[in-house]
């Protein structure tokens, strides 16, 4: 049975990284949670700002970890960016993302000299002055910036890792331009996921480990926000964010009890 804070909820959106796995390890209860979701009859989607992989690669990696997640169940920040780009007039893009993630942008023309739009995602250790300077010059020549997200940091085995928000904000600072943010907590991203579920915001709960992007971002447009106390969760962040999740769970395995 659903907890009191979530009664009337008819569908779920679920963060992946920090909720179902950290680094390449599944978190306790992740497989049980997926089994419960599958038998629940609830519509659900995974919504992720993870941008190092294409949707197909992501699904494969998850299945290798023992998590049964189909590509069609994953909604990524990259897909939201593609929808933005399709609304533009055949833009040339400079994809500042991994080669794998570039597959999701195959329908567009790429250029690193006269791009109309820079698409910024996670490139891990490949960030350097040369790339930042190229992006800076393109924006100064008039290119727009679409950042797949603006994450501050994320949880890896060895500790927290700097995320791309610092690079996006650096480019904004130097160019006096503002990036469009494609992924969570952009309302457009959540609305896209709701459209896919076919449900209204008030009928859906979002579960994630990021108090800002997952919990507050979802609550801001009328979804319920459920905080998973795993991944990057730290008690002091809740105080700082002045957030009040509708529910808190100690781990994703808790949702197996909701549907037992």
Shortest Å distance, C-beta 149 to Mg ion: 11
Shortest Å distance, C-beta 185 to Mg ion: 12
Shortest Å distance, C-beta 6 to Mg ion: 19
Shortest Å distance, C-beta 186 to Mg ion: 15
Judged by beta carbon, residue 22 or residue 120, the one nearer Mg ion is 22
The residue nearest Mg ion at its CB is 18
Q: Which two tokens stand for residue 112?
A: 């690193």
Q: Enumerate residues 151-180 that contact Mg ion by CB under 5 A.
A: none
In degrees and rounded to multiples of 5, residue 195 shows phi and psi of: -60, -40
Binding flag, residue 15, Mg ion (CB under 5 A): yes
Judged by beta carbon, residue 112 or residue 212, the one nearer Mg ion is 212
Q: d(Cα 237, Cα 184) in Å, to the nearest integer?
A: 18
Q: Enumerate residues 180-209 that contact Mg ion by CB under 5 A.
A: 209
Choices 16-24, 35-43, 66-74, 140-148 (CB under 5 A): range interacting with Mg ion: 16-24
Q: d(Cα 124, Cα 52) in Å, to the nearest integer?
A: 8
Among 9, 13, 14, 17, interactor with Mg ion by CB under 5 A: 17
Per CB under 5 A, residues contacting Mg ion are 15, 17-18, 209
């Amino acid at each position: 049975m659903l907890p009191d804070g979530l009664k009337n909820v008819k569908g779920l959106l679920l963060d992946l990284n920090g909720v179902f796995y950290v680094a390449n390890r599944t978190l306790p209860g992740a497989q049980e949670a997926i089994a419960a979701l599958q038998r629940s009859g609830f519509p659900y989607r995974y919504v992720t700002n993870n941008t190092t992989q294409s949707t197909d690669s992501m699904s494969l990696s998850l299945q290798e970890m023992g998590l049964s997640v189909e590509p069609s169940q994953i909604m990524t920040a990259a897909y939201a960016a593609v929808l933005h780009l399709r609304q533009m007039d055949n833009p040339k893009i400079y994809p500042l993302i991994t080669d794998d993630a570039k597959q999701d942008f195959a329908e567009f023309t790429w250029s690193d000299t006269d791009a109309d739009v820079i698409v910024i995602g996670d490139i891990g250790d490949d960030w350097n002055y040369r790339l930042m300077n190229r992006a800076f010059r393109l924006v100064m020549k008039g290119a727009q910036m679409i950042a797949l997200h603006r994450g501050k940091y994320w949880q890896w085995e060895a500790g927290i890792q700097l995320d791309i928000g610092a690079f996006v904000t650096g480019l904004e600072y130097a160019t006096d331009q503002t990036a469009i943010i494609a992924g969570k907590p952009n309302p457009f991203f959540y609305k896209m996921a709701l459209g896919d579920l076919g449900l209204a915001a008030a009928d859906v709960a979002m579960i994630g480990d990021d108090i800002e992007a997952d919990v507050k971002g979802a609550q801001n447009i009328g979804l319920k926000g459920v905080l998973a106390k795993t991944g990057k969760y730290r008690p002091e962040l809740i105080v700082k964010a002045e957030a009040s999740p509708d529910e808190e769970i100690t781990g994703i395995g808790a949702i197996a009890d909701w549907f037992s």
